[in-house]
Amino acid sequence: MAGTLIVTGGSRGIGAASAILAAKRLGCAVAVNYRKEKAAADKVVAAIKAAGGKAVAIQGDTAVEADIVRLFAEAEKQLGPIAGLVNNAGILGPIGRVDAAPVKEMERLWAVNITGYFVAAREAIKRMSTRHGGKGGAIVNITSAAVRLGGPGELVAYAASKGATHSFTIGLGKEVAQEGIRVNGVEPGLIDTEIQTPGRIEKFGPTVPIGRAGTADEVAEAVVWLLSDASSYCTASIVTVSAGR
């Protein structure tokens, strides 16, 4: 994949693993987006550069439209034409039952997990679509197995936000299929990253059919495959990485 890849929420977890693997395997320059974790983002950039790649860290809150617009402009200015996007930035939102969910927390959840994905995809399409004079590209949206499981008693709002991402992936994939852009999603199951609440991995890991939680690197393999030409006949598709959960 020649060109620049933008990874939102790329400072840690699945985003960081995907950024590093994409740079190594695809040879693309990577814009590592972060909101607060500058030191973590700088470590991802350093890892990419140490392997001979090119990368920059760019701050931006994906709940803020102006920040996303700036992210794309800066990435293009510093690294060159945009060829790919990994919509990865996400939050859990309110944890607990729906009848106790604060509206403010839900609004932030929708802004990051839904609207942020739409706006980032919009900016990518403006630059990559052949309809707009671009050369094509790939978008990978990170969804979740919570879409199927529902998250009762704990993460119903999060599951709902990822359900929107799932539908968005299918619809957008079909919308831009003839404009040189492939849009796919990766649906991780229980993955051992910083987003998990305390004790959750220990509690649910043994219940996964394979007997353990997954790693960010295992999810990154699917992300990078979908970005690559090896998945050239895949669009509007969701790849599940959940070990049967």
> Which residue in 34, 117, 158, 233 is the catalytic one?
158
Whether 158 is a known active-site residue: answer: yes
Q: Are 5 and 28 in contact (CB under 8 A)?
A: yes
Query: Which positions are annotated as active-site residues?
Result: 158
